[in-house]
Amino acid sequence: MQLTRSPLFRPRHPRPLRLGGQNYDLATRALVMGVLNRTTDSFFDHGEYFELDRFFARAEQLVKDGADMLDVGGVKAGPGPEVTEAEELDRVVPAIASLHERFEVPLSVDTWRASVAAASFAAGAVLGNDISGFADPDYLAVAAAAGASVVATHIRLSPRVPDPEPHYDDVVAEVERFLTERAERALACGIPPERVILDAGLDLGKTAAQSLRLLQQSSRLASLGYPLLLSASNKTFLGVLLDLGIGERAEASLAAAAIGIAGGCRLVRVHDVARTCRVRDILAAIMESAPPPKSAAAYELETAPAPEVG
């Protein structure tokens, strides 16, 4: 009897993650990262939290809902009006400094500019979430000097550049190679492995089918040995499945988080922190209580008919 073992709940355990001065054991419990946008044109909240009073109220709610960390961004990933370096600094750095004073959770800065990352690290951020794949040649050096952690994200072109017809011969293999090379680049710049995170970059230069394939293969990417970040919340590829508008993707986002966590993602970047934490917690309970998988031989022995006696 030939059996295939499901990768769900059995990904390779990543090494502990270090954020600032804190170590996190990610063997069975994923960290939930709450999205905080200081943008006027975010694809999801459309600038709802741009004003600082609403921004801080949102941050307080995310922490109350159970966010393990907060990710602050001042420029959206997709095409839109130019945001200068000075504008991004003005949007992000004072906000991070105030969050650092108000809350004890780790802070991440969502930027691909080394200058913004450096100022954010000085203001209290401990993670640089760079969706460009370290396109800025100074990014890794800045993070290393600050003792910060980094996210290496796969993207085909560049942030804010339309990529309507991306082609890959094998999207999983190409993303795997890209992320491996970026992780090695971070190590070469002096960032220790416990401070490196990988992100497949769903929707970043991928069709819906390509993003779905990468989500399905989370366990393969998690086996690279670094914590894997899933950023799927409310994204386009989820909407394509059932023709869902931006405001209709809550259930799809939770389903994606569940599949990602079960497949080995150990950080999930989301808008709905409260419900994602509940999904994470029930999955952690299941994974902690699940018995070790049986071998095919043991399964066959257990299910074989009892021998006849006499």
> Could you list the active site residues?
235, 269
For residue 109, the cross-strand partners are 72, 128
Q: What is the 3-state secondary structure (H, E, C) of the chain?
A: CCCCCCCCCCCCCCCCEEECCEEECCCCCCEEEEEEECCCCCCCCCCCCCCHHHHHHHHHHHHHHCCCEEEEECCCCCCCCCCCHHHHHHHHHHHHHHHHHHCCCCEEEECCCHHHHHHHHHHCCCEEEECCCCCCCCHHHHHHHHCCEEEEECCCCCCCCCCCCCCCCCHHHHHHHHHHHHHHHHHHCCCCHHHEEEECCCCCCCCHHHHHHHHHCHHHHHCCCCCEEECCCCCHHHHHHHCCCHHHCHHHHHHHHHHHHHHCEEEEEECCHHHHHHHHHHHHHHHHHCCCCCCHHHHHHHHCCCCCCC
Are 19 and 9 contacting, i.e. CB atoms less than 8 angstroms apart?
no
**Helices 114-123, 85-102: inter-axial angle, 10-degree rounding:** 20
Largest Cα–Cα distance of the chain, in whole Å?
88
